């Protein structure tokens, strides 16, 4: 067999093997312009977020809709139930929108903080004050808007490396499965499968250590 043809066949077979492996985590539907992160992938990415985000002690899919995050700072614990809605790829920045599904739950074992929390609920109605939020995050009613460097969301680069700047992705997370809809069809060939596997394997290795 011609060496070039043989090399092409090896590369194609390697790609097929990668695709078969990744199918446990991802589904692609070019006709509906959807990419689906299966529950196994969502859980892995939640665990990655916990290891990277300071004060985030828990992040897990809700059985019905969205994610539940637990943030601990000092003697205060905050539980936030939210669902991702949109992501805009804007150059080196990712702009996102989340919808709060319930008002944040704030708890503390300290009597002093319990009093402050009670006052916060009475005077602010349980709404998060914008001045107390991290830079790049703001709240408007039940919507949360944020800006992140795209280096903080490597998975987006692997999944949507061929999307043009200012592309918008619509998100829907139900029963642990994240559906991502784009304006153009996404095919397996558009994904950086090796990069995705490296991310997933890195998370799994940290779990096993």
Output the six-digit token pair for 205: 């290795």
- Stretch 130-152: mean pLDDT, rounded? 72
Q: List residues bridging with 35 in a β-sheet.
A: 28, 180
Task: Give the predicted TM-score (pTM) of the model.
Answer: 0.76
DSSP 192: -
Residue 51, CA distances (Å) to 48, 106, 190 in order: 5, 22, 28
Task: Flag the least confident range among 64-73, 130-139, 169-178, 200-209.
Answer: 130-139
Is pLDDT above 70 for 16?
no
Q: In the prediction, which pLDDT does 175 show?
A: 94
Confidence of residue 61 (pLDDT cuts 50, 70, 90): very high
Asked whether 39 and 61 are in contact (CB, 8 A), the reply is yes
Q: How far apart are CA 118 and CA 124, in angstroms?
A: 10
Residue-level pLDDT at 11: 35
Please state the three-class secondary structure of 121-135 as a single string: HHHHCCCCCHHHCCC
Over its C-alpha atoms, the chain yields an Rg (Å, rounded) of: 20
- Non-local CB neighbours of 203 within 8 Å, separated by 6+ positions: 44, 45, 47, 48
* Predicted confidence (pLDDT) at residue 6 exceeds the cutoff of 70: no
Quote the percentage of the chain above a pLDDT of 90: 16
């Amino acid at each position: 067999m011609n060496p070039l043809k043989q090399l092409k066949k090896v590369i194609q077979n390697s790609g097929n093997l990668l695709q078969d492996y990744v199918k446990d985590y991802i589904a692609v539907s070019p006709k509906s312009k959807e990419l689906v992160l299966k529950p196994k992938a969502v859980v892995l990415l939640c665990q990655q977020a916990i290891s990277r985000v300071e004060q985030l002690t828990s992040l897990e899919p809700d059985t019905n809709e969205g994610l539940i995050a637990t943030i601990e700072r000092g003697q205060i614990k905050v539980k936030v139930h939210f669902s991702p809605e949109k992501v805009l790829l804007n150059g080196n920045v990712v702009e996102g929108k989340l919808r709060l599904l319930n008002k944040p739950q704030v708890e503390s074992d300290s009597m002093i903080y319990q009093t402050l929390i009670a006052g916060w609920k009475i005077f602010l109605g349980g709404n998060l004050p914008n001045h107390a939020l991290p830079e790049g995050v703001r709240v408007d009613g039940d919507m949360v808007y944020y800006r992140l460097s795209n280096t903080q969301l490597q998975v987006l680069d692997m999944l949507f490396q061929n999307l043009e700047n200012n592309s918008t992705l619509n998100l829907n997370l139900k029963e642990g499965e994240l559906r991502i809809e784009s304006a153009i069809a996404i095919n397996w060939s558009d994904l950086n499968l090796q990069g995705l596997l490296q991310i997933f394997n890195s998370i799994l290795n940290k779990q096993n250590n």
